[in-house]
C-alpha cells in the first residue's frame, strides 16, 4: 500500500522568508511520526499544507493518496485534526460538541464512547469555556477522532499541560496508535517524541536534517558513552566507544565495586540540540 503521507521537495515562502525549503517526508500507514524543530523551523506550515489549510509554492504532496489542495469532502472525512489552539464554540457543552461533530462524518464513532475514551464523562454537561486546559485539549482530541480518522494530525498537542495531564494524554494517543490510527504530531517536548513516536524527523530552516527511530536518531547509539566514577575521593570521567571494557578495567583496578559508577549514553535532547545548532529560523 502507498504511504499515508508522501511529500517531496515541499516549498513555501512568505516574501523573502523560506518557511519550508525543499522538505521531504513520508509516513507509513499505522505509523506514529513526530516532527521536532525550533520555533520557525517550518513544522506548523508543513502540517497546515498537509491538512489542506495552506497552499504550497512547489513540491509534490499526497495525503491518503490525494493532493490536499484539491481535497474534497470525502477525503477530509478521513482526517482528524487537532490544532494548536481551538477556542470556538465555547458556549456549547462537551456532549453537544462531540455529538454535533459526529454528524459531519459518514461512519463516526459512537459519541458517548469517544467522550468516555478521552476521560470527559464527568464533564459531559460542562461548557467548553469552563474546562481546564488539559480538559479542553482532550475535547479537541475527541472532536478529532469522532469521525474515525485514518490519519490524525496533532499540532503541539500538550503545550501548557501539567506533567500529570501530559502523561494521561500520552496514554490516550498510544491507545489510538494501538488501534491502527496513523498519527503525525509536532511537539517541542523530546520526552513526548521518545514516548510516542516510531520515527522522529528533525526540521531546521524548512528542511529535514535528520530522521530515524528516537533511540538511534542522529547516530545516537554510535556516539561515545561517558563513564563516570569516584576514585581517591575525586570524580573521574572518560568518554569511550567501549564502556563495558572500561567498567571491567575499573573493576579490576579498584578491586570490585566502583564507587559512583555511571555509564551515560547521549540523550535524545543531546542529539536534537546538536542537530539544530546553527540556526532556528
The residue segments making up the domain with residue 232 are 224-264
pLDDT of residue 281: 32
Residue 169 and residue 141 share a domain: no
130 plus 232 within the same structural domain: no
Contact 265, 194 (CB under 8 A): no
Per the domain annotation, does 281 fall within a domain?
no
d(CA 232, CA 119): 55
Residues 168-183 pLDDT 10s: 888 888 988 999 999 9
SS3 41: coil
pLDDT at 220: 59
State the average pLDDT for the chain. Answer: 88
What is the per-residue pLDDT for 129?
92
Pairing of strands 234-240, 225-231: antiparallel
Confidence bin at 159 (pLDDT 50/70/90): confident
Task: Kindly state the average pLDDT of the residues 138-143.
Answer: 88
Q: Quick one: pLDDT at residue 267?
A: 78
**Whether residue 56 sits in one domain with residue 182:** yes
Quick: pLDDT tens for 19-57.
Answer: 999 999 999 999 999 999 988 899 989 999 999 999 999
Q: Which three cell numbers stand for residue 54?
A: 495552506
Instruction: Give pTM, 2 decimals.
Output: 0.79
Domain assignment present for residue 206? The answer is yes
Q: Looking at residues 68-85, what average pLDDT do you find? A: 89
The total domain count for the chain is: 3
pLDDT at residue 219, as a whole number: 63
Report pLDDT for 279: 40
**Cβ neighbours, 10 Å, residue 142:** 25
Last residue of a domain, one of 145, 166, 186: 145
Distance between CA atoms of residues 122 and 101, nearest Å: 19
On whether both 127 and 163 belong to a single domain, the answer is: no
Model confidence pLDDT, tens digit, residues 82-128: 887 766 788 999 999 999 999 999 999 999 999 988 889 999 999 99
Is 278 inside a domain boundary? Answer: no
Cβ atoms within 10 A of the Cβ of 73, count? Answer: 8
Confidence band, pLDDT 50/70/90 cuts, at residue 280: very low
14 and 40 assigned to the same domain: yes
Amino acid at each position: 500500500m502507498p504511504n499515508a503521507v508522501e511529500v517531496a521537495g515541499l516549498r513555501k515562502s512568505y516574501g523573502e522568508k523560506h518557511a519550508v525549503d525543499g522538505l521531504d517526508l513520508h509516513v507509513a500507514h499505522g505509523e506514529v511520526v513526530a516532527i521536532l524543530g525550533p520555533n520557525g523551523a517550518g513544522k506548523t506550515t508543513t502540517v497546515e499544507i498537509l491538512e489542506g489549510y495552506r497552499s504550497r509554492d512547489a513540491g509534490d504532496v499526497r495525503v491518503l493518496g490525494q493532493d490536499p489542495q484539491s481535497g474534497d469532502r470525502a477525503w477530509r472525512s478521513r482526517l482528524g485534526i487537532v490544532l494548536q489552539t481551538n477556542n470556538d464554540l465555547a458556549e456549547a457543552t462537551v456532549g453537544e460538541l462531540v455529538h454535533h461533530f459526529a454528524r459531519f462524518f459518514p461512519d463516526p464513532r459512537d459519541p458517548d464512547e469517544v467522550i468516555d475514551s478521552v476521560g470527559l464523562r464527568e464533564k459531559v454537561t460542562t461548557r467548553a469555556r469552563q474546562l481546564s486546559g488539559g480538559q479542553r485539549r482532550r475535547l479537541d482530541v475527541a472532536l478529532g477522532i469522532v469521525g474515525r480518522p485514518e490519519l490524525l494530525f496533532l499540532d503541539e498537542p500538550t503545550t501548557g499541560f501539567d506533567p500529570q495531564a501530559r502523561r494521561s494524554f500520552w496514554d490516550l494517543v498510544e491507545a489510538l496508535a494501538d488501534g491502527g490510527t496513523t498519527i503525525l504530531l509536532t511537539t517541542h517536548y523530546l520526552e513526548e517524541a521518545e514516548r510516542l513516536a516510531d520515527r522522529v524527523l528533525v526540521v531546521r530552516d524548512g528542511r529535514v536534517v535528520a530522521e530515524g527511530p528516537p533511540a538511534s536518531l542522529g547516530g545516537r547509539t554510535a556516539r561515545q558513552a561517558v563513564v563516570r566514577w569516584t576514585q581517591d575521593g575525586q570524580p573521574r570521567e572518560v568518554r569511550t566507544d567501549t564502556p563495558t571494557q572500561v567498567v571491567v578495567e575499573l573493576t579490576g583496578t579498584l578491586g570490585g565495586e566502583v564507587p559512583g559508577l555511571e555509564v551515560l549514553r547521549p540523550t535524545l535532547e543531546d542529539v536534537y540540540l546538536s542537530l539544530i545548532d546553527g540556526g532556528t529560523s
